[in-house]
Structure 1
Amino acid sequence: MIEERIRQVFADAVAEGQLHAVRVHARAEVADANEVGAEPGIREVAVGADESVVIASIFKVLLVLEFARQVVAGQLDPRERVRVTAADRLGGWGTAGCLDDVELSLRDLAHFSMSVSDSSAADLLLARVGLDTVQLLAQELGLDRTRIVGGPRDLLESMLAEVGARDEREFAVRYPALPNDRKRRLAVLDPRHTTASTPREITLLLRLIWSDAAGPPEACALVRDLMGRQVFRHRLVSGFPDDVTVAAKTGSLPGLHMEAGVARYPDGECYAIAVFARTHDLAASRPTVDAAIGKAAGIAVGFLRGGGR
């Protein structure tokens, strides 16, 4: 069975995985696809697809979608300038790791949020868009099991508080010294206490975006474009041939590796995929787990395209 093959891929990487993969259909076929469980007549690959999972930075897809919808509605000017100061830096890629203050537009905040998963950019964009509107958007789209509890800063502050660290540098010292069972109990790693969803709801979100059913076509197009600019190519992309275009968004936390995206084949067929991996050993090889995400996604879509069981 295809599901057993996928479970074995994760087991070989010393991880547990959840996956959902399904073809992206036309808008009329997707619009009512908001029920939990398999949709009648829809071919899919589901491994723990209805289990609650931490989504980390994958929430930025919803954030940027809400930003794009507000821009199209005339509620936000995408050229509005924002200054990223030392107080805004969360560490990592993009403006989050800059040494000096940076000024850029709201639309560039969206660009960096998606292309390099810039947490500072996402946090500032969320402050402008509104956490409540992102939460309401999830409800509007029928993502009943998707919960957004805050932005990147909220998650970071939760981790610092639990570890007893004053800042990221102190966290980097304290965290490795914790017993593994203590590390696993961090709230940000528990879908019951942090931003979470299910693999099936994440693929539904992607299908709604790709079929222009998640908002005005211009807003959906912007999200698709920005997801196509993601620079990270080590997870989903690694599982597909070079002629397949993958637009995606990664997410990472200690022991958690994930990515959701849409693979477009030369024949025009598109497939939404959401893959989540949790390592048993927190020191497990990251490249091994990342490669497993791509391999599992490739196997799932190959099955959907008629490549056997």
Structure 2
Amino acid sequence: MRERIEGIFADVGLTASLHVVDLDAVDLNADGSVDAGREVAVRADEQVVIASIFKVVLVLEFARQVVAGQLDPTERVLVTADDRLGGWGLAGCTDDAEVSLRDLAYFAMSVTDNTAADLLLRRVGPDLLPMLAVELGLTRTHLREGPRGLVESMLADVGARTEAEFARIFPTLPAERVWAMRVFDPSRTTSSTARDITRLLTLIWRDEAGPAEACAMVRAWMAQQIFWTRLAAGFPPGVRVSGKTGTLPGLHMEAGVAEYPDGGRYAIAVFARSDQLAPRRIEVDLALGHAARTAVEALRGT
């Protein structure tokens, strides 16, 4: 199975780590071990950059604070030009916008909105996310910075003062200069492993990452992700796929859960690196879904 999955990635020029697990077969109360034959692992313990997948931890902490009565999900936030970061969602607004904290969480998950995630992180408290990772037993997950810190490090590493200047400079850089940037180094940016991320998803889907109501909120937001060309594209109609993407030039990743009509539930984490720095490659997205389904079908014996 490992060779088969490696072949799927190699066909589109990828090196990847993958972990797929039957989330109902994981013994989370002991050492996190998985029953024999209930996981597929390809470099699952390799430290990797996780980019926007950190937003799963962010919205989980937000949901826990809401359920605990520490935050009001309807609290209004004014988003101004100074708040906007590159990417989807609120970053594209021309005018100031006012949204609730709950809608910031929705935008952060559904369209991986960096502006929404940055504002939500300020309200939740960035110092709490590493503490949550420790509480959940995510021993290889290192949450070092949010979206604003990531953008600022990218600008600094290429010598740009603004995002527009970065967009002009970045395409002119040689590949070795790009790969030397901090955002591509797991030891200098937010990182984890595929196995840690499937543990996180398993805890959320089993209502063990906090109050059941908080876990349900995270699942609902992940189910509303609009990007369907990665994990979701690999599965047939009738299989519910909830996910969260992460993307940087040359890095393509997704974490999610596939739920079958017969009750089977499978946590999936795929982190792929390409020698091509183009952020949008449909063949890469489809390969991630293909590899995920191949692993799940192996676990299902189909």
Following the alignment from structure 2 to structure 1, what is the Cα–Cα distance between the partners of residues 46 and 30? 18
Paired letter, 1:96: A
Q: Structure 1 runs of 4+ off > 6 angstroms?
A: none
* Contact 2:251 2:279 survives alignment (8 Å): no
Distance in 2 of aligned mates of 1:208 and 1:286: 31
Contact conserved, 2:247 with 2:279, CA < 8 A, in 1? no
Whether 2:197 is the aligned partner of 1:202: answer: yes
CA distance in 1, matches of 2:168, 2:91: 20
Partner of 1:305: 300
Match of 1:175 in 2: 170
1:221-232 to structure 2, matched below 5 A, reads: 221-232=216-227
How far 1:268 moved relative to its partner? 1.5
Counterpart CA distance in 2 for 1:235 and 1:33 is 32
Amino acid in the other structure paired with 1:95: L
Percent sequence identity over aligned pairs: 62
Structure 2 counterpart of 1:8: 7
TM-score (norm 2): 0.97
Partner letter of residue 16 of structure 2? G
Inter-partner Cα distance in structure 2 for 1:110 and 1:39: 31
1:230 is paired with a residue whose SS is coil
With 275-284 and 123-132 compared, the bigger mean Cα shift is at: 275-284
Q: Distance in 2 between matches of 1:154 and 1:12?
A: 34
What does the per-residue CA deviation read over 1:176-218, in whole Å, with 9 as the maximum and x for residues that have no partner? 1111111111110111110000000000000000000000000
2:24 aligned residue? 25
Q: How much has 1:266 moved relative to structure 2?
A: 1.0
| Displacement after TM superposition at 1:32 (Å) | 2.1
Q: Secondary structure at the match of 2:252?
A: strand
Deviations 1:245-302 (A, max 9, x none): 1000000011100000000111111100000110023248611111110110010001
Q: Which amino acid aligns with 1:3?
A: R
d(CA) in 1 for partners of 2:191, 2:58: 14
1:67 aligns with 2:62: yes
- Give the whole-Å Cα distance in 2 for the aligned partners of 1:44 and 1:33: 17
Looking at structure 1, the residues matched to 170 and 86 of structure 2 have their Cα atoms a distance apart, in angstroms, of 16
SS of structure 1 residue aligned to 2:286: helix
**Aligned counterpart for 2:153 among listed residues 136, 155, 158:** 158
Quote the residue 1:126 is aligned against.
Answer: 121
> How many residues matched?
302
How far off is 1:34 after superposition? 5.0
CA distance in 1, matches of 2:176, 2:81: 34
Structure 2 CA distance, aligned partners of 1:106 and 1:275? 29
Choose the corresponding residue for 1:91, options 86, 96, 112: 86
Decide which of 131, 134, 138 is 1:143's aligned counterpart.
138
Residue 104 of structure 2 corresponds to 109
Q: Higher mean Cα deviation, 17-26 or 64-73?
A: 17-26
Contact persistence 1:34–1:204 (CA under 8 A): no
Instruction: Give the Å deviation of 1:168.
Output: 1.0
Separation in 1 of the partners of 2:2 and 2:256?
19
Structure 2 equivalent of residue 281 of structure 1: 276
Q: Distance in 2 between matches of 1:79 and 1:185?
A: 42
Cα distance in 2 for residues equivalent to 1:33 and 1:206: 17
8 Å Cα contact 2:21-2:40 kept in structure 1: yes
Which structure 1 residue ranges, 5 or more long, are not aligned? Answer: none
| RMSD, matched Cα | 1.3
Change (3 A) 1:206 1:284: closer
* 1:302/1:290 CA distance change after superposition, 3 Å: same
Question: What letter matches 1:4 in structure 2?
Answer: E
Change in CA separation of 1:284 and 1:10 when aligned onto 2, cut-off 3 Å:
farther
Q: Is the 8 A contact 1:262 1:273 kept in 2?
A: yes
Supply the AA of the counterpart residue of 1:77: D
Q: CA deviation at 1:33?
A: 5.7
SS in 1 for 2:127: helix
TM-score normalised by the chain length of structure 1: 0.95
CA contact (8 A) 2:52 2:245 kept: yes
